[in-house]
Amino acid sequence: MKRERVGTAEKPSMVREPDQQIVNDFSIVVATVNGTGSQTANMALLRSLFRMGVPVNSRNLFPSNIQGLPTWFTIRASTREHFARSESTQILVLMNETTYEEDLAMLEPGSVCFYADHFEVEPKPPGVICYPMPVKDIVREASPPKQLRDYMTNMVYVGVIAEMLGIDLSEIQLALETHFQGNPKPVDLNMGIVDQAALWARENLTKEDPYVVRRDDKTRGKILIDGNTAAALGAIYGGLTFAAWYPITPASSLADGVLEYLPRLRRDPESDDATCAVIQAEDEISAIGMAIGAGWAGARAMTSTSGPGISLMAEFAGLAFFAEVPVVIWDVQRMGPSTGLPTRTSQGDILFVRFLGHGDTKQVMLLPGNMAECFEFGWRAFDIAERLQTPVFVLSDLDLGMNLWMSEPFTYPDEPMDRGKVLSAEDLDRIGEFARYRDVDGDGIPYRTLPGTNHPLAPWFARGTGHDESAFYSEDPEVWTRNIERLWRKMETAREYMPKPILRRGDTPEAVGIIVYGSTNPAVHEARHLLAEQGLPTDYLRIRAIPFTDEIETFIREHERIYVVEMNQDGQMRQLLQLEYPDQAVKLRSLTHNDGISLTGKWVADAVTAAEQN
Amino acid sequence: MATSMVNEIQLTKKDYKGRPSTLCQGCGHNSIASQIMAACFEMSIQPEELIKISGIGCSSKSPAYFMSRSFGFNGVHGRMPSLATGAIVANRSLKAIGISGDGDTASIGIGQFKHILRRNAPLVYIVENNGVYGLTKGQFSATADVGQELKYQGTNPFLPVDICMEAVASNCGFVARSFAGDPKQVKELIKAALVYKGTAVIDIISPCVTFNNRDESTKSYAWGRAHEDRLHDVTLVPLRNEIVVEYGPGEVLTVPMHDGSMLMLKKLGRKYDPADRVAALSLLEQARARQELVTGLIFYNPDQPSLQEVEDLIHVPLSQLPDELLRPAPETLEAIMADYR
């Protein structure tokens, strides 16, 4: 076994005093090759840290590929719960020979590198503490079954890092048990390598870096979950009865989540029959078509997709808006245009979705910014869609949807289901008349009846063509105008049902306000701390829905300068705000960055600082 | 039956009427609409429990012209099957009739056509096939004959899509062809399709009197009348009715339907067994080669499970489930949350 300590011999020993240690605050990047089982190893590290009470989140930067291309998995531990991507890496694990040179180049002096010693790390970056890992030797000694060997090499770094940082091996064991759902054989095999690697590190490496893990209680009661699973659970607790979908990264795991939990949660206790249908459609057009058909017939219907699917759904989205059919569409955004970067995150669909459909179309949008909201909007979207009788788009993204985030456990829906203005046969008997698109209440929301309602007054003819109050075909200009005006009135009413923005501000407003939404929130959260440290206090507003509510206008009016932070090229949310509040347009400054990699707090802080100096 | 008569649910023919048609005088689609009304009246279908779904085009306008007491959805071009699938899964107690055309099904909608057949969702899928785009003023459709002449577009150079052959190829278990000029057969086939448990395709040659009714067109009235070759005489005997017509031995093929109704196929000129898929394809190929309008039940297979069966759904329509069956109890969420700690 090769036991030399590469890259540390020339430096003086740097074993730290406790006051020089950096506890529970670092970013680990693991550079591996996709399809090699690195997910098991990374999850084991992540879960162990989380269960030791260390606030963590993770990001997987993966290729659009099945096997053999580079993947970087980041774990950020942060006692202050700063969960944006970190610009600097403190601990790098080099397992991929093809990328190690560029991976190494990102390290700053003082950071740490664990590397598989079968490839040469030369020259060492100055000041970087390098630990070799005899990956092949350790795996050989542990001698797992040959066919599994390639999948288990990654457990070596788990063992070495656990030893060097002070992660309890018992927590790694528990994490593996969770990962393999209690199946002892893979747990034992993987743990065998972890133990071997930890032992090797104990005997052969001397700690020279400051990074340590110590048990804490900052994750007590919390959960670690991804946004797509959260959304799937939300939908199921929202009474989902029909889902149609077509496979697409990064949205597929939302449908997977629905399929995983339905058998357990949504079977009729008497007959054991399913109370929700899920259909994998032949394309996204069919997926939304089925969901609209189901929504029209009275189901709580949804579909989940990403940008290319949204493009295909445009015509049907306009139909559902105009025929006033409730349906929920999850758009887990990825980088476009076109196929773009299918495994990279973006907030590029905001404008497109807002006006999805030709002609005069306005769509209602919800914008979750964390796991709890992915769950909450998962159920609330149905209430809003049925209340307003319109499509509700929930815009998540790859960063929220596919990465694991720390969260408070989800709150059970605190309101009964709102099925909206639906008239039964008994209602029709009592009322004695019915016109599908009549604005009886003056709020723009008409009453509807569901197909199968057995009353001669109930039937109506849903259509994408011009129609009068009774849903009959009409080309009359006045009828058309009246109907569109009612739809616009309905969109005004919609504001009442939108989740309010989240505000952070003192009693008197600062000069600078920052507006953010969705997955870019952690970067802004961190940036505000950095800016405050630099002497620039800021106020904060997070938009959670479109159409906008009054709080947003007030916030804009009471600040001198507003920065709208987002991940798209042209500041799409800023444009929507400028359209809504044209007299405030010049105050709204756009800070955008859109390269597929999520924003960092430092980038946001620097961008605000630079803009303030101009 | 006279219009004053009532059916088994005490409704008259008037209760099955639609809005006045805005299609051209003599359009085949109007004749088909009449037969849908007649079939539903005779089958005593509660109009409110039937849905009419369509795409875009002349054919797709026609659901407005029959059964105003039924719910309808005139959607987008070529996508009738997806709307229908969602609706009938959401409410399994509904009967569903989908109206499409040759453009709506064989061009823009061929994907959804094939895939609803693959899923076997319960739907009477009627294609009103006239070989031409009427609403856009007379372009060739994908079912137009090769060599067909049209006023504006000249001669069609492409071979037609055979909707029945596509349906058989897609494992559709109920494939029929008929002719709008043969109302009795159209009606009986619709009645049979209404009791079939999956997707039943009826490709009905339905002449466009304005753009494609020249005698030499295979989609014209004159050609249809001259060339229709009935496979059999079709009669659907509903579950509740006794079989009153007497047939001689070997004279009729009796096909039991899912609800217990009987489809009586009285032999005409030839011996034909609609259970034979290879025979069905061969028949369609011969009809194409000989330029015959073969009508009747071309293929029948009751064995393929319907979408409702595959989905293993609760018998109460999903749209009518009470809240307590829709939202799992709070303790289930607590248990799930524990798994993510």
**Roughly how many angstroms between the first and final C-alpha of chain B, as a whole number?**
70
Residue type, B119: R
> Which of A282, A296, A412 is closest, CB to CB, to B87?
A296
Residue B189 CA to residue B183 CA, distance in Å, equals 10
> Which two structure tokens, joined as six digits, stand for B215?
């005698």
Nearest alpha-carbon partner for A290 in A302, A275, A272, A307: A302
Q: The tokens of B146 are what?
A: 């090769």
Q: What percent of chain A has pLDDT over 70?
A: 97
Contact A452 B111 (CB under 8 A): no
CB contact (8 A) between residue A294 and residue B90? yes
Mean pLDDT to the nearest integer, A421-446:
98
* Cβ neighbours of B94 in A, within 8 Å: 297, 451-452
* CB pair distance less than 8 Å for B51 and A282: no
Among the partner-chain residues A223, A291, A455, the one whose CB lies closest to the CB of B341 is: A223
Mutation target for B interface from A463, A467, A472, A474: give the one with most B CBs within 10 A: A463
Q: What is the mean pLDDT of residues A75-93?
A: 95
B337 interfacial to chain A (CB closer than 8 Å): yes
Q: Hey, is A511 helix, strand or coil?
A: coil
Is there a contact between A387 and A422 (Cβ–Cβ < 8 Å)?
no
CB contact under 8 A, A456 and B332: no
Cβ neighbours of A67 (radius 10 Å): 9
pLDDT band at A222 (very low <50, low <70, confident <90, very high): very high
**Interchain contact, B318 vs A275, CB within 8 Å:** yes
Residue A5 has pLDDT above 50, yes or no: no
pLDDT band of A550, cuts 50, 70, 90: very high
In angstroms, the CA A55 to CA A68 distance is: 31
Contact (CB, 8 A) for B300 and B192: no
Half-sphere exposure of A496 toward its Cβ, with a 13 Å CA cutoff?
9
- Sheet with A391-397, strands from edge to edge, namely A277-280, A242-245, A301-305, A327-333, A391-397, A364-366, A545-546
Q: State whether B313 and A274 contact (CB < 8 Å).
A: yes
Inter-chain contact A285–B88, Cβ cutoff 8 Å? no
Give the dihedral of Cα atoms B57, B59, B65, B67; nearest 10 deg: -120
Q: What is the pLDDT of residue B248?
A: 75
Residue B100: what pLDDT? 98
Q: State whether residue B154 sits within 8 Å of chain A by CB.
A: no
Higher confidence at residue B22 or residue A11? B22
Is B75 at the interface with chain A, CB within 8 A?
yes
Residues B239, A605: Cα–Cα separation, whole Å: 76
- Answer whether B318 sits within 8 Å of A299, measured CB to CB: yes
Give the residue among B340, B192, B309 at the shortest CA–CA distance from B255.
B192
CA dihedral B100, B103, B104, B108 (to 10 degrees): 160
Is the pLDDT at B247 greater than 90? The verdict is no
B151 CB-near residues (< 8 Å, 6+ apart)? B138, B211
Q: Which residues pair with A604 in a beta bridge?
A: none
One-letter amino acid of A337: P
- Among B47, B313, B328, the residue with its CB nearest the CB of A236 is B328
One-letter-per-residue 3-state SS of chain B: CCCCCCCCCCCCHHHHECCCCCCCCCCHHHHHHHHHHHHHHHCCCCHHHEEEEECCCHHHHHHHHECCCCEEEECCCCCHHHHHHHHHHHCCCCEEEEEEEHHHHHCCCHHHHHHHHHHCCCEEEEEEECCEECCCCCEECCCCCCCCEECCCEECCCCCCCHHHHHHHCCCCEEEEEECCCHHHHHHHHHHHHCCCCEEEEEEECCECCCECCCCCCCCHHHHHHHEEECEEEEEECCCCCCCCCCCCCCEEEEECCCCCEEEEEECCCCCCCCCHHHHHHHHHHHHHHCCEEEEEEEECCCCCCHHHHHCECCCCHHHCCHHHHCCCHHHHHHHHHHCC
Q: b vs e for A497-513, b when ≥16 Cβ sit within 10 Å of the residue's Cβ? A: bbbebbeebeeeebebb
Q: Cis peptide leading into A144, omega within 30 of 0?
A: no
According to DSSP, residue A118 is labeled T
Q: What are the chain A neighbours of B111 within 8 Å (beta carbons)?
A: 282-283, 286
Q: A155-165 and A169-179 helices cross at what angle (nearest 10)? A: 150
Residue pair B165/B252 in contact (Cβ under 8 Å)? The answer is no
Whether omega before A269 lies within 30 degrees of 0, making that bond cis, reads no
Instruction: Write phi, then psi, for A48 (nearest 5 degrees).
Output: -65, -45
Mutation target to probe the B interface, by most B beta carbons within 10 A, among A412, A453, A468 is A412
Confidence of residue B293 (pLDDT cuts 50, 70, 90): very high
What is the rounded distance in angstroms from the CA atom of residue A171 to the CA atom of residue A153?
19
pLDDT 10s digits, B49-74: 999 999 999 999 999 999 999 999 99
Q: What is the dihedral of CA B142, B146, B151, B152, to 10 degrees?
A: 60
| Crossing angle of the two packed helices A227-237 and A371-388, in degrees rounded to 10 | 40
CA distances for A72 relative to A125, A133, A412, A419, A573, angstroms: 20, 18, 35, 45, 30
Identify which of A244, A301, A452 has the shortest CB distance to residue B49.
A452
Q: Is B247 on the interface with A (CB under 8 A)?
A: no
The pLDDT value given to residue A17: 66
Kindly identify which residue of chain B lies nearest to residue A286, measuring between CA atoms. B82
Name every residue whose Cβ is closer than 8 Å to that of residue A182 and which is 6 or more positions away in sequence.
none
User: For residue B325, which residues of chain A lie inside 8 Å, CB to CB?
Assistant: 266, 268, 275
Task: Give the relative orientation of helices A38-51 and A169-179 as an angle to the nearest 10 degrees.
Answer: 120
Domains and CATH numbers, chain A: 18-220 (3.40.920.10), 225-407 (3.40.50.970), 425-497 (no CATH), 502-613 (3.40.50.920)
The domain locations on chain B are 13-319
Q: For residue B144, what pLDDT band results from cuts at 50, 70 and 90?
A: very high
The minimum CA-CA distance between A121 and chain B, rounded to whole Å, is 38
Q: What angle do CA A333, A335, A341 make, to 5 degrees?
A: 125
Query: What is the tens place of the pLDDT at every residue in A568-590?
Result: 999 999 999 999 999 999 999 99
How much is the ipTM here?
0.97
Separation CA A66–CA A70 (nearest Å): 11
**Per-residue model confidence (pLDDT) at position A93:** 96
Beta pairing partners, B112: none
| CATH assignment of B13-319, among 3.40.50.970, 3.60.9.10, 2.40.420.20, 3.90.79.10 | 3.40.50.970
User: CB-based contact (8 Å) between B309 and chain A?
Assistant: no
- Report, in this order, helix, strand and coil percent for chain A, each rounded to 5: 40, 20, 40
Q: Which residues contact A478 (CB under 8 A, 6 or more apart)?
A: none
Comparing alpha-carbon positions, the chain B residue that sits nearest to A282 is B115
Average pLDDT over residues B149-175: 94
CA A538, distance to chain mean position in Å, is 25
Mean pLDDT of all residues in B70-97: 98
B111–A286: do the CB atoms touch at under 8 Å?
A: yes
pLDDT at B244: 65
Q: Inter-chain contact A450–B49, Cβ cutoff 8 Å?
A: no
Confidence category of residue B4, pLDDT binned at 50, 70, 90: low
With an 8 Å Cβ cutoff, are A223 and B340 in contact?
A: yes
| Residue B27 distance to chain A (closest CA, Å) | 20
Selecting from B48, B64, B317 the residue whose C-beta is nearest the C-beta of A454 gives B48
Q: Does B46 touch chain A (CB under 8 A)?
A: yes
Confidence of residue B208 (pLDDT cuts 50, 70, 90): very high
CA A191 to chain centre: 31
Average pLDDT, chain A: 94
Nearest by CB to residue A274, choosing from B68, B81, B311, is B311
Of all residues in chain B, the percent with pLDDT exceeding 90 is: 87
pLDDT at A12: 36
Instruction: Determine how β-strand B199-205 pairs with β-strand B123-129.
Output: parallel
What is the radius of gyration, based on Cα positions, of chain A?
27
For residue B142, is pLDDT > 60?
yes
* Chain A with chain B: Cβ pairs closer than 8 A: 220
Q: How far is CA B263 from CA B21, B36, B191, in A?
A: 31, 17, 9
Rg, C-alpha atoms of chain B: 21
Dihedral pair phi/psi, residue B180, rounded to 5°: -60, -25
**Best residue in A242, A290, A312 for a mutation probing chain B (most B CBs within 10 Å):** A290
Candidate from B82, B321, B328 with C-beta closest to A286: B82
Sign of CA dihedral A272, A273, A276, A280: positive
Please give the pLDDT value at position A18.
65
For chain A, the residue count is 614
